[in-house]
Structure 1
């Protein structure tokens, strides 16, 4: 297996055939281009990592404070005609809008570049939070906190997430993990800050404070973030391609995303409510939510580091499975504060594996050239699960209680890990197939007559192959 991987890594599909004229000149050009396009694996990439982390803090972090704001609205009947389901949809709508705009953001990004795209997102996030501070009806919040904020978050997050992987090769997952940890860190900071600000200044002033904090953090990050120069012209030709969904390997990543998002969103929004349902006070419930975000902050860089060392698909599979096991083994029997805190920390370290590793895994599967368009396609497929994850969870709780919800969440993570397990086997299949093509003298895009199709090739033992993928 190691020999097969080595041959695959050094194979160049653009390498001229032995009979081609001026072979030495063409080889020299190819080697020069490969050298120029090699990511610096650091340098200014660490500045971009910091900027991406800051963007996550001031988008996903602020979005996670919705739980604190929601508690205030419900306890004070701020909007008397609004139901619990209305509020649940506002939180999911902001995430759904972020993901729904993936193709649009990719198109804008291809035309005007990353800096202007993120500056547009900065303005939208600031305007949405400022507008929410003047809301007097529930539909005002749908437009501001839901649609406008989610749109701005999409322009910021999707662009930054597509730019960062181009700066790294062997440290790609680690850098993405550091950047993604900003969502957890922002969740901790903004949950605590929003709670204190509401008590001290009221909800309208709190929204304005959040607006100006977001403006400062996102504006600086947008100005400092930049594309790798050697990729700029190449990116202009890339567009959103819905045909990505016709590829089996992309469908496996979509299944991973859909299932884990159904579990992840439920954990983030429902864990404090579960705490109060077992007799804990609201303050203890808010602490469980903060500890979950703390786990995200700690876990995402660690998952990224081990992904680079041991294989991005392999580690993502294991961590996703661990989250399902933690739900079964710790969350279900957790009827007191101490075991619930333990579950919040451990689950927080692994429940956000998808967002911490999706871009490195996608780059492994489709390559850097197709990364922005494929990532946008995957985001688009997550609109429905992120919108309805919390309403579905609340419906299950209302009809069957929290035990059914816990089993449902755990099963979603186990199903997501299973899809990655099959994807891991597919990656080994791709490596072996390319090695077979090379041995037969067939071009990389050609078909090997002696190598079986994936569905004929895969066997139970193929799922347990050793190797770094």
Structure 2
């Protein structure tokens, strides 16, 4: 399910590189193209509270099947678009709604089946998005030149429909958990808590950096003189890093604590952006950086739910996650647009220098938010003990 929702969305970097290097939609600016990928992620976050509500009041299966229909429609209709606003509605808004419904309908199901090693299990499940991103970054990079853009989109739509439809109707919650807690998807009182505000700060800044990395690698590769297929492979390797890194993050979280692992992952992503990405100027370094940063960059989506549960408690988890997903709407919408505006094509040696600095500072800021969050939790613990 993750491979055919987040995985297909992760391949948008390849589509973006294709849009920027060709005149498929005349008159469309690079900034407008950037907003399409951002819209898909922000719409997924925007519909999350509604998806959670429908899961509680109707069923997970209904939400998953509805999401599959939205995703399939978006990909098929995108193959027939003639103008940029049609692409906005199909590949941006419609796909985002489908992705959000599929994500929210499936993200919590694995937790019902396991009492131990839940972080590891969720990490393995979320690795599907990395595997999907790996496969579809390579596939899209090959399909567009050989089949053309319309048939590449139709092929993705058919695959998405068949596989997600099967998954939607096979996934289920154990019968003993059918009456699980149905907390409110919205409760603004949680926002008054300092530790929760710090968690939102971590998520907001991480999302800004993550989207830039996810969507910029193919166009960055082309900017330093690599081919479009080599850029597709760079995007695929970043997703391969996520496929390996997310289960590893889950496993380490079970042993060393979720906050500790998330803090280290944010710091390492920031360090790699400052120390390595700035100096990447060859094919080998591009591939090495893509894999290395992929190990840590996608920690946000792997640990957001477990961290929210630790901060607000299981009783308010629905409200905590609902507000967190909405908080991610603005950064996921504008992150890649900011990156394209920060590019400096006139500087042939380092056209992405400001983008690289921006990404590093975003992850550094997210790590600082987590550090203060951990201090706040310790302060509360001491007050409780005294």
TM-score normalised according to structure 2 size: 0.94
User: Which among 179, 197, 204 is matched to residue 150 of structure 2?
Assistant: 204
- What is the rounded CA distance, in whole Å, between the counterparts of 2:183 and 2:365 in structure 1? 36
Q: Deviations over 1:225-247 (max 9, x none)?
A: 22344444343453322332211
Say what the alpha-carbon RMSD is for the aligned residues: 1.8
Distance 1:217 1:386, change over 3 A: same
Matches for 1:163-312 after TM superposition, within 5 Å = 163-236=109-182, 238-312=184-258
CA contact (8 A) 2:119 2:254 kept: yes
- What is the rounded CA distance, in whole Å, between the counterparts of 1:76 and 1:260 in structure 2? 31
Distance 1:165 1:434, change over 3 A: farther
Partner of 1:332: helix, strand, or coil?
helix
Q: Between Structure 1 and Structure 2, how many residues are aligned?
A: 382
Partner of 1:121: 67
User: Which among 106, 109, 129 is matched to residue 55 of structure 2?
Assistant: 109
- What is the rounded CA distance, in whole Å, between the counterparts of 2:317 and 2:231 in structure 1? 39
Partner of 1:264: helix, strand, or coil?
helix
- What is the rounded CA distance, in whole Å, between the counterparts of 1:339 and 1:104 in structure 2? 43
Partner of 2:360: 410
Matches for 1:70-109 after TM superposition, within 5 Å = 70-109=16-55
CA contact (8 A) 1:106 1:373 kept: no
Matches for 1:387-426 after TM superposition, within 5 Å = 387-398=333-344, 401-426=351-376
CA contact (8 A) 2:202 2:369 kept: yes
Distance 1:279 1:193, change over 3 A: closer
Q: Deviations over 1:10-66 (max 9, x none)?
A: xxxxxxxxxxxxxxxxxxxxxxxxxxxxxxxxxxxxxxxxxxxxx110011111222
- What is the rounded CA distance, in whole Å, between the counterparts of 2:175 and 2:255 in structure 1? 28
Partner of 1:21: none
Structure 1: gaps (5+ residues)? 1-54, 437-469
CA contact (8 A) 1:255 1:419 kept: yes
Matches for 1:294-333 after TM superposition, within 5 Å = 294-333=240-279
CA contact (8 A) 1:306 1:315 kept: yes
* Structure 1 residue runs of 4 or more that deviate by more than 6 Å after TM superposition: none
CA contact (8 A) 1:165 1:359 kept: no
Higher relative contact order (CA closer than 8 Å, sequence separation 6+)? 2
Partner of 2:315: helix, strand, or coil?
coil
User: Which sits farther off after the overlay, 204-213 or 382-391?
Assistant: 204-213
Q: Deviations over 1:332-355 (max 9, x none)?
A: 122222222221111000000111
Distance 1:370 1:430, change over 3 A: same
- What is the rounded CA distance, in whole Å, between the counterparts of 1:107 and 1:186 in structure 2? 27
CA contact (8 A) 2:141 2:232 kept: no
- What is the rounded CA distance, in whole Å, between the counterparts of 2:20 and 2:209 in structure 1? 24
Q: Deviations over 1:282-338 (max 9, x none)?
A: 333222211111111111111110001111111111111111011111111222222
Q: Deviations over 1:105-135 (max 9, x none)?
A: 1211121021111111111111111111221
Q: Does 1:383 align with 2:329?
A: yes
Partner of 1:398: helix, strand, or coil?
coil
Distance 1:281 1:203, change over 3 A: closer
Q: Does 1:157 align with 2:108?
A: no
CA contact (8 A) 1:165 1:360 kept: no
Partner of 2:279: helix, strand, or coil?
coil
Distance 1:238 1:167, change over 3 A: farther
- What is the rounded CA distance, in whole Å, between the counterparts of 1:170 and 1:427 in structure 2? 24
- What is the rounded CA distance, in whole Å, between the counterparts of 2:162 and 2:315 in structure 1? 32
CA contact (8 A) 1:99 1:382 kept: yes
CA contact (8 A) 1:106 1:240 kept: no
Q: Deviations over 1:405-448 (max 9, x none)?
A: 21111111111111111222233334333333xxxxxxxxxxxx
- What is the rounded CA distance, in whole Å, between the counterparts of 2:106 and 2:163 in structure 1? 14
Shift of residue 71 of structure 1?
3.3
Partner of 1:369: helix, strand, or coil?
helix
Shift of residue 97 of structure 1?
0.2
TM-score normalised according to structure 1 size: 0.78
Q: Deviations over 1:120-173 (max 9, x none)?
A: 111111111111122122211111111111001111102212333343343111
Distance 1:349 1:185, change over 3 A: same
Structure 2: gaps (5+ residues)? none
When Rg is computed on C-alpha atoms for both structures, the one with the higher figure is 1
- What is the rounded CA distance, in whole Å, between the counterparts of 1:283 and 1:211 in structure 2? 22
